[in-house]
Amino acid sequence: MNEVKQVITIMIRAKSAESGPPLGTVLGNIGVNAIKFAKEFNDFTENLPNWLKVKVKIVIYKNNNFTFIIKLPTIGHMLSLFKKDEYYYSSTGQLMYSAYLDFLDILKIAVLKFPGFPLEKALLIVLGTVQNMNLKIKIINII
């Protein structure tokens, strides 16, 4: 097994790694082929939405080879990205606030966060977080 030279943890937008600065500069200064890393990372994240930033741990070895590990954001963070705010007046005239999510967004998060997991179980996990965050769910007509 190769000896580890350095470990870097950075946030990169899925499918958007570029071999130029700033990423290319950091990796190039350590001796890593930034073009190779960008291609491998972009290929690995091709099924993720490009707006999603992921935490990437890059392990660089003495021979300048590398491996990387991607960690998806937490369910709570992903829910906050999709959350919509709603202001309305109550029957007493008081301004009220609530936060809600579209059910389709919850479904997207369940599939993204738990690929290959039974959808019913993945949805239950995500819905538990929705409940803990006191968010409402709106079901919209698809047809």
pLDDT at 51: 84
pLDDT at 143: 58
Report which of 57, 114, 52, 41 is spatially closest to residue 80, judged by C-alpha positions: 52
pLDDT at 142: 60
Side-chain-side CA neighbours of 101 within 13 Å: the count stands at 22
**Alpha carbons 84 and 97: distance in angstroms, whole number:** 11
Report which of 98, 45, 102 is spatially closest to residue 79, judged by C-alpha positions: 102
Domains of the chain: 4-71 (3.30.1550.10), 75-138 (no CATH)
In the predicted model, residues of the chain with pLDDT beneath 70 are: 1, 141-143
Rounded to two decimals, the pTM is 0.71
Burial class (CB in 10 A: 0-12, 13-18, 19+), 83: middle
Helix, strand, or coil (residue 97): strand
